[in-house]
Structure formats: C-alpha cells, structure tokens
Amino acid sequence: MTATHADESAARALIVRTARSLFMRGLTHGSTGNLSVRLSDGSLLLTSTGSSLGTVEEAQLSRTDLSGRHLDGPRPTKEAFLHAAFYRARPGAHAVVHLHSTHAAAVSCLDDVNPADALPPLTAYYAMRVGTLPLLPYHAPGDNALEPLAEQTARTHHAVLLANHGPVIAGATLEQAADAIEELEETAKLHLLLRGHTPRPLTPEQAAALAPTSP
C-alpha cells in the first residue's frame, strides 16, 4: 500500500485488517475507536458510526470530503470532523487513527497532566513515533466545537490526546499511524507503572534528535 492509498479497494481491505488487529489486541473495545485513510481523489474513507473495529466489514465504510460532508456509504463516525481537521492541517497525512486505548485514556483523565505534552519521552521509539503530545480540553464525543482547535493543533503536532477520551494520530500511511498509536499506548502504560517512582526520560536533546518528521 502506497502512502496515497490510491486504490480504494485495497484501502478498504487495509482499514478492515488494521481495525481487527487493533481490536483483537485489546487496543480498543466495544464500538469505540475509528480509522480513516485519504484516497487519491482527496475524499476520506472512514469507519462508520456505531461499528465495532472487531467486526467492521469493507461494505460498512463511509466516505466523506475534506469538510466532513457525507458522500456515500453508511453514516460516518460522529468524530469524522476530527479526521477531516487533521487532513486539512497536514497535507502529507494519508491516515488517521483514533482509539480509546485503556492506558492512554487513563492518562487523559489525570489532573496533573502537562497540557503542552501529556507524556514524557520514556523510550526512543516513543520519541521517534509520537514526539510531543498536546492534551486538548474535554469535549463530549461528537462535539464539533473541538474541530477548530484540533485543526490548529494538528498543524504542528501529528498526535494529540483528548482529555477524558483518548489519542488521535495522523500518519503518512495507516500502518505508520497504527504503529505510532500503539507506541503511545505502551508509553502511557509505562508512565502509569512508574508513578510513585523517579523515572529517567530521554533528555530534551535526545528526544529532539529522534523527533518524527512531519507526515
């Protein structure tokens, strides 16, 4: 699969394969989480509202334009506006993943999180795949009042954490976005395991040397 996901049929298969992998490995649950790719014509292929990533089928995917307008297929996820905001902000992004993964969601509920960077760079792979992680203030799921802030933040960060909710990550490909969000979840788990201890994260210089390039 190329970065442009030009083949819609292949893109549909990739979304379903990735969705089921994320679900089966416990990175999301129930009907939570949503995935999308940007097709070569500029439209977005997304999981639909109410669908479970564990059972979603290719025919159940939705298509919207970059403004979030529904083009065809079932009704898209109510968080389609978040995907559209990331794509508008990041022309090099061709995939977006949003999950309610347990440890990242737990971090998003903590009162002492740094809103400019919700997780420390505990590992080199986190620094490479995620970098800094702004925490966006709480909005109810589907509240499109979050859209302008998400778009503004996505211009400078390919990953964000939604307060009391979960992470959103854009990537050049769906594989890259899924790898990055999994790395974020594992780092959130490490962060919680280390609470009460004195961690030794990467130095700012070490983290900067590994910072991801912009998709």
Write the pLDDT tens digit of every residue in 17-47: 999 999 999 999 999 999 999 999 999 999 9
Mean residue pLDDT across the chain = 95
Is 125 one of the catalytic residues? yes
Give the pLDDT mean for 9-21: 97
Task: Report whether pLDDT(5) > 90.
Answer: no
Domains of the chain: which residue ranges? 8-210
Using alpha carbons, list the distances in angstroms from residue 139 to 74, 97, 147, 167.
25, 18, 10, 13
Task: Report whether pLDDT(2) > 60.
Answer: no
Is 79 one of the catalytic residues? yes
Kindly state the percentage of the chain with pLDDT values over 90: 95
Helix (H) or strand (E) holding 161: strand 159-162
Which residues have C-beta within 8 Å of that of residue 87, sequence separation ≥ 6? 38, 44, 66, 93, 96, 170
Which listed residue (8, 57, 58, 79) is catalytic?
79
Which listed residue (8, 125, 147, 175) is catalytic?
125
| Residue 62, amino acid | S
pLDDT of residue 6: 52
Task: Report whether pLDDT(193) > 50.
Answer: yes
Domain 8-210 listed as CATH 1.10.20.10: no
